[in-house]
Structure 1
């Protein structure tokens, strides 16, 4: 198990689940109507848990990580959970005992014996489910396996569901005026059991056992290794052609045809100024003639293809360029730079990017020889 995930899972068990288990035990005692001496047993059990956590205060799971640094505190949440979680256990136990020893407040709804037993079983089972991850950690076993924790959570859910089903069948035959108006029970019980069950079982999907130091710095363990990329060039694309064998007329015609083909490949365009979906007209193909520094001339052109889904349109345009003998040779700031891979190409550089107004296409032809 990756040490960072182990730290977070153990922190949840110590900081949240263990103090919550105290509340479930107290709720089971109150709902069962146990005598006052039951609270003495409750406090004794709480003291036992605190002793266990005290003895586990020196537990540190070794992590043999070659890439571990001082800025990687994989045991931070365990330390915080162990300290603050013990405070939560004490506070919850004292408050619950004080409430239980004074004259108990009668429930808005007194349940029959069978339903009471099921509710008590649900609370008791959920208390076990909430305490097992912390006790498992404190015993030096790491994170509890999901096959151990999940059946306990499901048993608590089953007990409560059965109790509520019996309650529903009992109340549906009564007149509306005779039905109890009790809130928040059973809504609070349902929320508590499902929430604590999710906290107890959910993180265990990431793994169990002790932390594995070999996973530090390698969160993508299990994926096929990729070849290291060299520093230069940053984009591992093909080397573009540096010249063309076409004459001036063919360069101009080829540049114009490439822009027109980009519009055809893009497919239907969207009118972004319309409040409702509406098609947009294709932009005109306009070339601008420019003089080259080394003599000769070239043609440039730009298009804005309006669309609400540039992630679908841009790949279609790029596929058309590939079919015409061009390929991506670089990428910068979310813009693909495309160059020719054939010696008879008309365009020297193309750029394909996006903006709030759609997909942007910019082309620059080769310079003519004269």
Structure 2
């Protein structure tokens, strides 16, 4: 019995050792598993942190790329703006040069005008001297009337010649008045209401009716007005009675003072050209072939820009009235002046002949008296 119990005790002791060893190994295994789990969790955390860091870096690179694109776009915009600025500076320099050239032209014209005024003043002075001389001669002739009875007939003939010449002068001066009257009569006859300047014979067309704002293409109403006015006006000017006196048929375009001068100059020129083009395109319906050729030689179209503005009663600009197209004419002033000069020369020659004859008579009477 004792041997059996001892063996049993040895077996139980061996079993307890293995169980303790097993428990120890289980604990170590559990500890290893825990360490592995902690290591895996730490590794997973590090991996997640790296992924977040990489995502953050990628986002940062994307934002940097976007920023770089925006900077590139802004640089392009700045370059475009610089090019536009350079272009505008170039245009400004061109306009400045154009204005300088225009100023030079205006200065030259002013100088020529001054010279012309001086010549006119000199001619008026000479004419006044001639008038004074004529008055002196007439006084001398009048004083000789009592003593020179025989020259009375010659003086009467000279007076008759002067009267005839005066009638010629009156006829030349009265051509414009007659022409303006003829225009008024013809427009009344055609029952067309038109205001004709009594001094110049010009008619004014409202640009607000003729054209749209800022445009130079005739409107339907504008063409209708021209179809009524131009046939009457040109038919009278180029009629057989007045055609030889008319030197020029003028179409002038005007604007108001809004906008710059050069833009208004181009607009007014284009509007005058539009009216002239309409006239030449339709003149065949109311003028003969000969009159059409004469019109083409005498017609001019001018842009006056914002010069010669129309003012109201208070001296302020009437912008609507200033936007206009004027149609007028110019008589052959040079031919008139030449005719007047010829008349004056003929008068001087006739007076000289009369004086010579009077002096001869006086000398003869003096000899007879002696």
TM-score by length of 1: 0.19
Larger of the two Rg values belongs to structure = 2
Please identify which structure carries the higher helix content.
2
TM-score by length of 2: 0.19
Please identify which structure carries the higher strand content.
1
